[in-house]
Amino acid sequence: MKKKDIDYYMNLPYKIVIQKDPHGGFFAKVEELEGCMTQGEIYDETSRNIVEAMELWLESSLEMGIDIPEPDVVSRYSGKFILRLPKSLHRKLAEKAKKENVSLNQYAVHLLSERNVLRQP
């Protein structure tokens, strides 16, 4: 059984929410860790701050012997989903992937991550 220290918890897939604060800047919280929150003037600063807040929250909880909730099981996500698209787009993507010497899946993941499509402003 793996020792449940700060490193153990920091490597779990907690849900971090960062959103614009109506009074300016950004607000961030860790959904599963009640009271673990922070803020910042810009998105990147807030993103760094929430990691630091998490570490401090976890450290304090471990020192005080408080039970630390773990994130929901991620096993319900297989890492794959079926996507239907027009044949012409499929062809274009496949040709670009071939040109880059990668699989179509790798190319699609690259495009999604490069564009930061899931980034919350």
pTM higher than 0.85, yes or no? no
Domain with CATH 3.30.160.250 in the chain: 6-64
Q: Is the pLDDT of residue 100 over 70?
A: yes
Instruction: For 22-63, write each residue's pLDDT tens digit.
Output: 999 999 999 999 999 999 999 999 999 999 999 999 999 999
- Is the pLDDT reported for residue 78 higher than 80? no
Burial 32-64 (b: 16+ CB within 10 A, else e): bbeebbbbbeebeebbebbeebbeebbeebeee
Q: Candidates 3.30.160.250, 3.10.310.70, 3.10.50.40, 3.40.50.20; correct CATH number of 6-64?
A: 3.30.160.250
pLDDT of residue 115: 66
Instruction: Name which residue leads in pLDDT, 79 or 105.
Output: 105
* 116: confidence class by pLDDT, cuts 50, 70, 90: low
Cβ–Cβ under 8 Å, residues 50 and 28: yes
